[in-house]
Structure 1
Amino acid sequence: MTRHLVVISAGLSDPSSTRLLADLLAAATVAASKEEVTVEHVELRPLAHALTDHLLTGFATGELAAAQKLVVEADAVIAVTPVFSASYSGLFKTFFDVLETGALDGTPVLVAATAGTPRHSLVLEHALRPLFSYLHAVVVPTAVFAATDDFAGDGAGLRGRVDRAAAELAALVAARPHASRLDQFDRDLAAMGDFESLLNGQ
């Protein structure tokens, strides 16, 4: 069966070093996988207005709803953000803020970030890893940070980190049973609805 990898990138420029790192990680994960892998890309920049609407209304529509469905169905996620004010970007955080509860339960996630200098590399541990642990995702041991200089020259240092993280993600995915996470997610939502009905005496 085919595995489904969703790559989420929160870069704001075009072209974007954040998207470049996301593409490197996706290609390395596909190469490290022993099963067929389909890759879906979710660029957050075009979803900025829809994300704001979701915050105000509580409803996702159009491309945002489609992106959320991709995440729910994913066998694995690669999440890459630029660093703003020593943390993930607001756009990145908003996307994960509006995901339904349980959407990432047990999902292997590879986290990565880009910034101008290596001084921001700790964002991986003090911001990104705690966020996805809170969302009950399974975060791979190796997180990847890329500063501007990492893309210069032959990029051997960055490539080594990318390959290691990708191999860890591929191994986590291979260890997971083939099942429809969307079906399970729907069952969980139904169970929550039944529980709320009991609480309300219905």
Structure 2
Amino acid sequence: MKLVVVSAGLSVPSSTRLLADRLAGAVTGRTSAEVQVVELRDLAVEIAHNFTNGFPGRKLAAALDAVTAADGLIVVTPVFSASYSGLFKSFFDVIDPDALAGKPVLIAATGGSARHSLVLEHALRPLFSYLRAVVVPTGVYAASEDWGAEGLPERVERAAGELAALMTGLSTARPATTAKDEFDVVPFAEQLAALRPAG
């Protein structure tokens, strides 16, 4: 199995890459997946050229192939202007629109304030739903104050477990029960008749 991590962090070191590495470590702790990291910072020029000439450069083509062939994706972006970064969006704009259909994806983001945590739901989840990926229920947002605080490790572990289950084909849903219902169902008409006054 192959897990590909797409990190849109711009600085070195980057909190975005740090979060990506923590998520990847939590997934590989549950699977035997081989991890490949795609640093979008290193592909910025080739992504721009792809928009103007229609052809990916060598590094960008390799990154696109890796994402397309992955059994699961972790995507992490910093928050810029209340949404994902332009570099992050541009990378997914040059991917074939059908390449992510049915692919398990864990979405994550970093930002300076907890006020931007809804970026997961109003920007990232709709983007990958549009691309017909299977987005795990738990997204992970890390504000500056979250590092070393309670809550972040638990969210990382929960999201990683969900992605690992999708990658290995395990269902996290409750098994169907074959037991009879404990309650008798009374038809609505009978319930109404019981309310009518006698006479």
Deviation string, structure 1 residues 69-128 (Cα, Å, up to 9, x no partner): 001110000000000000000000000000012110100000000000100000000000
User: Comparing both structures, which one devotes a greater share of its residues to helix?
Assistant: 1
Amino acid at match of 1:8: V
Q: Does residue 1:175 correspond to 2:169, yes or no? A: yes
Q: Does residue 1:26 correspond to 2:24, yes or no? A: yes
Amino acid at match of 2:26: A
Aligned-partner Cα distance in 1 for 2:96–2:55: 11
Which one of 151, 159, 170 corresponds to residue 165 of structure 1? 159
Which one of 92, 97, 102 corresponds to residue 96 of structure 1? 92
Give the 5 Å matches for 1:17-166.
17-33=15-31, 36-151=32-147, 153=148, 155-166=149-160
Runs in 1 of length 4+ with deviation above 2 angstroms? none
Higher relative contact order (CA 8 A, sep 6+): 1
Count how many residue pairs are aligned between Structure 1 and Structure 2: 170
Aligned-partner Cα distance in 2 for 1:83–1:167: 24
TM-score in terms of structure 2 length: 0.84
Ranges in structure 1 where 5+ consecutive residues have no aligned partner = 177-202
Q: Percent of pairs identical after alignment?
A: 62
Per-residue deviation at 1:156? 3.5
Q: Does residue 1:13 correspond to 2:11, yes or no? A: yes
Aligned-partner Cα distance in 1 for 2:141–2:30: 20
SS, match of residue 156 in structure 1: coil
Deviation string, structure 1 residues 109-148 (Cα, Å, up to 9, x no partner): 0000000010000000000000000001000000000001
Amino acid at match of 1:94: S
Aligned-partner Cα distance in 1 for 2:146–2:117: 12
Amino acid at match of 2:141: F
- Between Structure 1 and Structure 2, whose CA radius of gyration is higher? 2
Per-residue deviation at 1:157? 1.3
Aligned-partner Cα distance in 2 for 1:60–1:16: 26
Ranges in structure 2 where 5+ consecutive residues have no aligned partner = 171-199
RMSD: 0.9
Amino acid at match of 2:90: T
